[in-house]
Structure 1
């Protein structure tokens, strides 16, 4: 089981790092960036292919 600041399991997702951010917040940020990249590629793909 993953340990984070001495906490394991689901509670570790809500434990904060040294700046106060949780892993859930980091996951949301990464997912938002990934969706933006996918959306941009979806928009420009026809121009790149044809």
Structure 2
């Protein structure tokens, strides 16, 4: 099982993905940070739930 990413790293990647420029894809950001695009998508979904913006 892969070692989990530190919380600070996940939060930083999600922050960058949320503030990305138009035309920049999740796949590009995930590749830049060395994570799988599906992993970043799950992190973003989890962040919305943690913020209380969506029930989880």
TM range (shorter): 0.3 to 0.5
TM-score, reference length from structure 2: 0.32
Specify which structure has the bigger relative contact order, considering alpha-carbon pairs within 8 angstroms and separated by 6 or more residues.
2
Which of structures 1 and 2 has the bigger CA Rg?
1
TM-score, reference length from structure 1: 0.35
- The structure with the greater share of residues assigned to helix is 1
- The structure with the greater share of residues assigned to strand is 1
